[in-house]
């Protein structure tokens, strides 16, 4: 490859990759589409890989958060039932109960 071409690629590649740096702040489809538009194959592949990794990480964190909330609910439910709270209200937060009131 010509030295001049290498210089141009070395300037363009970081710009192309900068689209992937904060890929988690964008909609996944838009980020993936943006990655597909990168003309440099290596930069495009790296961008797609980062986008997919961010999506996997987000799903994992969401699963952990769901598990934590489920355990908190089960703890509240058991505590409330032990205290004699009616079954339809047991385990719910006071704010959840207030939100269900008719307007």
The whole-angstrom separation of Cα 69 and Cα 89 is 17
**Which pTM does this prediction carry?**
0.40
Give domain limits for the chain.
3-99
If one compares 64 and 95, the residue with the highest pLDDT of the two is 64
User: Residue for token digits 């006071």?
Assistant: 94
Task: Say whether pLDDT at 29 is over 60.
Answer: yes
Sign of CA dihedral 67, 73, 75, 78: negative
Instruction: For helices 28-36 and 41-82, give the axis angle rounded to 10 degrees.
Output: 170
Q: What is the pLDDT of residues 44-90, one digit of tens each?
A: 888 888 878 877 787 778 888 888 888 888 888 888 888 887 777 76
């Amino acid at each position: 490859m010509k030295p001049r071409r290498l210089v141009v690629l070395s300037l363009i590649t970081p710009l192309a990759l900068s689209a992937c740096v904060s890929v988690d702040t964008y909609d996944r489809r838009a980020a993936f589409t943006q990655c597909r538009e990168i003309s440099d194959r290596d930069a495009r592949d790296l961008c797609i890989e980062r986008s997919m990794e961010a999506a996997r990480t987000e799903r994992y964190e969401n699963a952990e958060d769901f598990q934590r909330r489920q355990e908190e609910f089960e703890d509240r439910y058991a505590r409330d039932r032990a205290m004699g709270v009616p079954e339809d209200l047991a385990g719910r937060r006071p704010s959840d109960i207030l939100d269900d009131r008719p307007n």
